[in-house]
Amino acid sequence: MTVPLVTVFGSLHYDIMVDAPDRPRKGETVTGHAWQPKCGGKGGNQAVSAARAGVRAAMIGAVGDDDFGSALLANLDRAGVDRRFVRVAAGVGSGMSVAIFDSDGDYGAVIVSGSNLALGDDDIAAAGEVVAQTAVLLLQNEVPEAANVAAARAVKASGGRVVLNAAPARTLSAELIALTDIVIVNAIEAEFLAGVPVVDTLEGATEAARRLVDAYPSAIVTAGGEGVAYCDRAGTAFALAAIPVKVVSTHGAGDEFVGAFAAELARGHQIEAAIAAANAAAALLVATPEGERGAL
């Protein structure tokens, strides 16, 4: 049987990760004790996660003609991601970020989008052979919305499904919402999209998912260390508790969940089984030290 294809249309960032006792407040300088580079971006992370889950994974994106861009392409190669349609954009710097981790493993980050903002219709057209084979398309909010709409429209026309990880939170067009089959958000993003306060608990995530299906056919709301909730317009609703692990770092956990979920969905697994597999993948990731995570 042909291995299903998950295509990720989205961001690639070269991350600088800093370990410190805490994240600085406004005007404060904190002395850190270590730093390391890492290849990321929500799109890149999700593509690597899908490949790790055993499906074919393709990336459509853009990097700059610089050292960061070369490193990002090499990382996709190591992970086994098809990156033939990652464009090298001349005269634009690659996307990058700085993430500061505190002693509890939580983090805050600043991103500079760079080449990711150069994505558009031409990138979708160039990747026609991949689009035509796509079982599941993954989108995020780190590239222009018009480009996301073009990608979603092309994949839907070829019979694929569209999963939108609506992060970071921003106002979405009616067209993109209409093209989305499943939206995945955390509590903060769910609160923004639903327009009501969301408590970061399983109960809060479940209520948020119920509210989101007013706009989306299906909604998944993650609640960090509490677990994840699902709801759809057919009336199916359930919540899964997080798997207890010793947390080393939460960085990339959401992307690991999304990529693993898309892989299981592309294989034809039922929603609850796909979410359970993604839940397990995210738990394994947060319990694994950054230096032992491979391509991610």
Of the chain, the percentage scoring pLDDT greater than 70 comes to: 97
Q: Is the pLDDT of residue 188 over 90?
A: yes
Q: Is the pLDDT of residue 208 over 50?
A: yes
Mean pLDDT of 138-165: 97
- 104 band by pLDDT with thresholds 50, 70 and 90: confident
Q: Which CATH class is domain 5-24+36-180+243-289?
A: alpha beta
Mean pLDDT of 154-183: 97
Q: What pLDDT, in 10s, does the model give residues 79-103?
A: 999 999 999 999 999 999 998 989 9
Triad 53, 279, 160: Cα angle to 5°: 55
HSE toward the beta carbon, residue 116, CA cutoff 13 A: 28
Which pLDDT score, from 0 to 100, does residue 72 have?
A: 98
In the chain, where are the structural domains located? 5-24+36-180+243-289
Q: What pLDDT, in 10s, does the model give residues 244-280?
A: 888 777 777 899 999 999 999 999 999 999 999 999 9
CA distance 126 to 118: 14
CA distance 10 to 199: 29
Q: Count of H helices and E strands in the chain?
A: 10, 13
CA of residue 172 relative to chain centroid, distance: 17
Indicate which residues carry an active-site annotation.
Answer: 255
Q: What pLDDT, in 10s, does the model give residues 14-46?
A: 999 999 999 999 999 999 999 999 999 999 999
Mean pLDDT of 2-18: 95
Mean pLDDT of 206-218: 96
Q: Is the pLDDT of residue 193 over 80?
A: yes
Query: Residue 59, SS3?
Result: strand
CA distance 93 to 142: 15
Triad 253, 194, 205: Cα angle to 5°: 45
Which pLDDT score, from 0 to 100, does residue 118 have?
A: 96
Backbone angles phi, psi at 11, to 5 degrees: -90, 150
Query: Residue 214, SS3?
Result: coil
Which pLDDT score, from 0 to 100, does residue 292 have?
A: 66
β-sheet with 107-112: strand ranges across:
34-40, 13-19, 95-101, 107-112
Q: Which token pair is 192?
A: 């923004």
Q: Is the pLDDT of residue 281 over 80?
A: yes
Q: Is the pLDDT of residue 294 over 80?
A: no
CA distance 137 to 129: 14
Please check whether residue 181 is in contact with residue 159, taking contact to mean a CB–CB distance below 8 angstroms. no
Mean pLDDT of 134-139: 98
Q: Is the pLDDT of residue 295 over 80?
A: no
Which pLDDT score, from 0 to 100, does residue 109 have?
A: 85
- 296 band by pLDDT with thresholds 50, 70 and 90: very low
